[in-house]
Structure 1
Amino acid sequence: MANLRTAMDSQFWDQPISSSQTLEGCAYSIPGDPFPLEVTRASKALRVQQLSVLGNGFPLGTIPSFSPTSTKDLGSFSLQSLFLKLATSNSWLGLIGQFRPKKLISSIKGEFTNADEFEWPAFKDVAKHVFDKSIYSLGLFSQISLSSSSVLLSTERHGDKRRPRYKMMLWHELPDHDITLEAAWPGLFLDQKGKYWDVPESISLDMSSLPSESGFQYRFGVHKNSGHPQPVNTLNGEVPCALMPGLCAKAAFSYEKRKDFWRQKEKVDDTAVKTDRGKVRHPSFDMRLSEPHAAISGIIGMLLHCIG
């Protein structure tokens, strides 16, 4: 059912997807395009939170990552680490660093291969390659949580890129509704062919209803793109129409119905394990697996949009 919902949503809205192209770890699908098969929906856990947990299982907290680049000498392999983490009851601040070793190793190898003997000028050239900014990336991320709102601010700079990335997100909770304001300079999108695109300015404002027992949901939104989209990991290509400059307002309505043919309700004894200290409850790691069932589901929806 989750895959069916994702396929439906991708026809109407840009969906957050996991991506290693940015330190934030997130890009967006293109509205109206089929959802890319090789990607997954972005985790609700932010990249800083993921690195904070994963770093405990790697030496020195350094986590390997794989992200192809348009510059071949940089390579696709990189190492990421969480350098700084400051957290309070309602806010946190994190600094992420990334290092691409391929170019550095190749450059040092070339210096000593071309040198006749180990001389001081050769070591000076090695130091020059170590401080080459194109192999480093830094990202600063912060979040402030208020009573019913959360603000996420982030900026990251890749040494091989001309301009930094900035992003701002605001979540606000209303009774049975969520309001999201998001702005990115530039916004990163992924088309169905696996090509990434940078939109110089992408701003969106959405209000969506929360899932209800009746199955009826709706969403309203306004999306504005400015500037000509630029390819990220390819030299050329046809720009998707949905990324062209302009203002677009959308309203979507959907009705979801699910019918169980058979369902076995979970009982207390199903998750209880006898130990020396008595019975200990071990719930299922996935709620969808806690109750075996057979069901049929369906979603029907409608989209209204105005492009200006």
Structure 2
Amino acid sequence: FGTLLGQFNFQKFMSSVTGSGEKPNSVSSWLQTIGRHLQNHSLYALGFSSELMLTPDDTLLLSLDSYTFGDNKKPRKKAILHHKFPNHNLTVEAVSPGLFVDKSGNYWDVPLSLAIDMASLASDSGASYHLCMHHNTGSPTQFQGDDHQTIHGPPATLLPGFSIKSAFSFKQNFDFWRSKAPKLKLVQPYDLFLSNPHISASGIIGAALTASVGDCSVRSQDNSQESNGFSFQASGVKSALLADLFASVSFTAQHGNYQRLFLDLTRFHARLDFPSGSRFVAGATQVAQNLLNSQRPSLEDIQTICPNASLSLQQQIAGPFLLRVDSGVIVDLDNQDWPIRVHDPVFALEYSMQVLGSAKAVAWYSPKHREFMVELRFFET
């Protein structure tokens, strides 16, 4: 099937009309002014996408997006091939130009990005692996040309070059308590995935290896954000090899079956991420040595062992309506007044549609990025 989507930038149109300073004195003058502004091609965007089922196991997705016809900007083209193997999936992707976002929320255009991705099938527990080959061509530029907003250049992974990334992980789930109380008869839960009260946890531990050749092998100088794992870099041939461990621990508690009209669901989820095992071990070792020597550990060492934390809270308001808040938590020991603060909170209102067992319409807002969006989500846990 194929999809054709058009977009009109109403906010930019109103800004151009009100900012022109024109004051038409008749209806015909108003129409001429509006018509002249409507001729601005940068107000329009056009997108076309098509999904072709080549075989029962192969799907090809093609898309073409043109954002500003009159500004000599190249259209964004993408081709993705999905192939299903018995125990893993293969994805081949080509994008020109590719759009990526860094940790600071800045968007970057890469002239040509090619990727081959192979991953084992997702499972609730057990071992899994992920292998990806990535090649970038051309120098990345900041999207929409807002170069003055960034202090640092583009991430090293977006620079021209070829890289191979692999990861292996093992996941284990733990059920501390799961309700065996019967549900209300003849009353369908608003969401089947949210109808079982429980207290559970899960843990993931794994290892990652990256080998790169080209400009993308240059490591960032910001050591506070980079892994301290095993690394080897040969600057003469622009190549590097990086390896490290990672881990994640999550905890979930839910009360209510989400069947009654009011306050029948309260769900809390917390996750702790340890992106660099070697960095954590080095920091923990230094803290332990200081304590054994009756010395006070430095704030930098304590900061090193602090994981990245994220919290999520869902609360039923009435019927199928839920209020949801997601936020990261940052520990900044250098700030004596506020050592713990929230990071990038997202507020959402969810409406459970009671179709397909689990489907919802979500309207969310991010104060940090000043973004608002309405989405349809299916089978989200």
Shared fold, TM over 0.5: yes
**CA distance in 2 between partners of 1:182 and 1:226 (Å):** 14
8 A contact 2:124–2:171 mirrored in 1? no
**Is the partner of 1:104 in helix, strand or coil?**
helix
**Is the partner of 1:113 in helix, strand or coil?**
coil
Taking structure 1 as reference, are residues 213 and 107 closer, same or farther at Cα in structure 2, changes over 3 Å only?
Answer: closer
Match of residue 128 from structure 2: 217
Match of residue 200 from structure 1: 111
> Deviations for 1:212-260, whole angstroms, at most 9, x for unmatched residues?
4651000111001111000015224311111100000111100011111
User: C-alpha root-mean-square deviation of aligned residues, in Å?
Assistant: 2.4
State the Cα distance separating 1:271 from its structure 2 match. 5.5
1:128 aligns with 2:36: yes
- The alignment of Structure 1 onto Structure 2 pairs a total of residues equal to 206
Match of residue 255 from structure 1: 170
8 A contact 1:95–1:140 mirrored in 2? yes
**CA distance in 2 between partners of 1:207 and 1:246 (Å):** 20
1:228 aligns with 2:110: no
Q: TM (normalized to structure 2)?
A: 0.50
> Deviations for 1:75-129, whole angstroms, at most 9, x for unmatched residues?
xxxxxxxxxxxxxxxxx111111111233334444667355x4497875454232
> Deviations for 1:153-212, whole angstroms, at most 9, x for unmatched residues?
000101156111000111110101100111110111111111100111111001100134
**CA distance in 1 between partners of 2:89 and 2:43 (Å):** 40
Match of residue 290 from structure 2: none
Q: TM (normalized to structure 1)?
A: 0.61
8 A contact 1:112–1:122 mirrored in 2? no
Match of residue 298 from structure 1: 203
**CA distance in 2 between partners of 1:124 and 1:212 (Å):** 61
Taking structure 1 as reference, are residues 215 and 105 closer, same or farther at Cα in structure 2, changes over 3 Å only?
Answer: same
Match of residue 4 from structure 1: none
1:113 aligns with 2:22: yes
8 A contact 2:132–2:164 mirrored in 1? yes
Taking structure 1 as reference, are residues 283 and 185 closer, same or farther at Cα in structure 2, changes over 3 Å only?
Answer: same
Q: Which has the higher strand share?
A: 2
Taking structure 1 as reference, are residues 290 and 111 closer, same or farther at Cα in structure 2, changes over 3 Å only?
Answer: closer
**CA distance in 1 between partners of 2:33 and 2:89 (Å):** 55
Taking structure 1 as reference, are residues 189 and 213 closer, same or farther at Cα in structure 2, changes over 3 Å only?
Answer: closer
**Is the partner of 2:174 in helix, strand or coil?**
strand
1:282 aligns with 2:220: no
Amino acid at match of 1:169: I
- Give unpaired runs (5+ residues) of structure 2: 214-381
Residues 36-51 of structure 1: matches in 2 within 5 Å?
none
Match of residue 307 from structure 1: 212
Taking structure 1 as reference, are residues 292 and 106 closer, same or farther at Cα in structure 2, changes over 3 Å only?
Answer: closer
Determine which of 76, 92, 111 is the counterpart of 1:165.
Answer: 76
Residues 38-77 of structure 1: matches in 2 within 5 Å?
none
Q: Which has the larger radius of gyration?
A: 2
State the Cα distance separating 1:286 from its structure 2 match. 4.4
Taking structure 1 as reference, are residues 225 and 264 closer, same or farther at Cα in structure 2, changes over 3 Å only?
Answer: same
**CA distance in 2 between partners of 1:179 and 1:242 (Å):** 22
- Give unpaired runs (5+ residues) of structure 1: 1-91, 274-280
